[in-house]
């Protein structure tokens, strides 16, 4: 592709994965956000909860000053606390909804353009009940966000039997969920992540095309799933080129090509497309970020 990649997407990065010390809403948030904000390769940034109000205000100012688009990833609010929005224990389900509502409040405070989360674990014997609980929770979240503004609520599709073991899950169930929610809420959408597609055993095309009209957000990442004994096995988002990993430059190029053909990448309303990469062991986050940028540039040249 000869055109600039920035014409077709807002190139972003998931801040709390690149700098995992910040994933619990604490740590060196302000300085690491500023490091991304100074890098003009990025058009966008994804942040998560920030527990200190003064830090939230400083981060908002940095993002606005740098001219970055910003989106909110609420996944850590669930994953680091063990909460589950399709929990069949009503008290625990309410706790999950409450923390996500607090996240929606933060997202509006930070002028975010989207709010992402994930479904929780489930038991096969009660899968239908878990799905009903998930639908009920999402309707409530959509109502809550809609009462405050126009920010969409976005469910990220995860694996269902390897690592996160989330209810959503395969593309077919994601499609059913989107169709069920969108009957009453137009502010709902889905997120696809290249790193998760191999974990729910689908090809790129079959993971994108059936749900293309519902995709609001895109992640690009990598995974290791060939052997449980391998380093970074599971949903660890290692750098591109990591030993025994699934996604490299050819897979990124195929992913971008499919997104472009489906009209998801476009010049009229470029979507968020963010790296979700994480240092493994003592790897330097700055080097991981540089790796991701080079991989995307090389892949785009092949599209």
* pLDDT above 90: residue 225: yes
CATH of the domain at 226: 3.20.20.150
- Report CA torsion sign: 239, 240, 241, 243: positive
CA distance 252 to 261: 14
- For 122-172, the pLDDT digits (tens) are 999 999 999 999 999 999 999 999 999 999 999 999 999 999 999 999 999
- For 256-283, the pLDDT digits (tens) are 999 999 999 999 999 999 999 999 999 9
Q: What is the pLDDT of residue 1?
A: 78
Q: Write out the residue range of the structural domain in which residue 158 sits.
A: 5-302
Residue 101 — pLDDT band, cuts 50, 70, 90?
very high
Q: What is the pTM of this model?
A: 0.96
Q: Closest Cα partner for 167 from 123, 104, 225, 233?
A: 123
The percentage of the chain sitting over the pLDDT mark of 70, rounded to a whole number, equals 100
Q: What is the pLDDT of residue 2?
A: 87
CA distance 235 to 238: 9
Q: For the residues 215-243, what does the mean pLDDT come to? A: 97
Per the structure, how many domains does the chain have?
Answer: 1
**Sheet of 69-73, strand order:** 10-13, 272-275, 215-220, 188-193, 153-156, 115-117, 69-73, 44-47
């Amino acid at each position: 592709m000869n055109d600039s990649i920035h014409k077709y997407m807002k190139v972003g990065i998931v801040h709390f994965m690149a700098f995992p010390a910040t994933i619990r809403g604490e740590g060196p948030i302000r300085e690491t956000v500023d490091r991304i904000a100074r890098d003009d390769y990025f058009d966008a940034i994804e942040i998560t909860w920030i527990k200190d109000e003064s830090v939230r205000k400083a981060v908002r100012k940095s993002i606005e000053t740098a001219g970055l688009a910003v989106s909110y990833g609420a996944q850590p609010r669930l994953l680091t606390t063990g909460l589950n929005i399709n929990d069949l224990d009503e008290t625990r389900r309410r706790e999950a909804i409450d923390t996500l509502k607090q996240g929606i409040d933060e997202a509006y405070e930070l002028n975010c353009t989207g709010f992402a989360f994930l479904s929780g674990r489930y038991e096969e014997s009660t899968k239908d009940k878990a799905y009903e609980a998930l639908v009920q929770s999402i309707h409530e979240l959509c109502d809550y966000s809609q009462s405050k503004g126009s920010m969409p609520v976005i469910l990220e599709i995860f694996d269902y039997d390897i690592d996160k073991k989330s209810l959503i899950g395969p593309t077919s169930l994601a499609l059913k969920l989107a169709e069920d929610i969108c009957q009453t809420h137009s502010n709902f959408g889905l997120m696809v992540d290249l790193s998760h597609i191999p974990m729910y055993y689908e090809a790129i095309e079959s993971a994108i095309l059936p749900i293309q009209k519902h995709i609001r957000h895109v992640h690009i990442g990598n995974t290791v799933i060939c052997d449980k004994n391998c380093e970074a096995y599971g949903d660890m988002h290692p750098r591109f080129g990591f030993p025994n990993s699934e996604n490299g430059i050819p897979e990124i190029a195929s992913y971008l090509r499919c997104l472009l053909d489906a009209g998801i990448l476009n010049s009229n309303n470029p979507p968020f497309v963010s790296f979700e990469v994480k240092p493994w062991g003592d790897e330097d986050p700055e080097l991981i970020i540089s790796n991701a940028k080079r991989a995307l540039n090389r892949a785009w040249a092949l599209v």
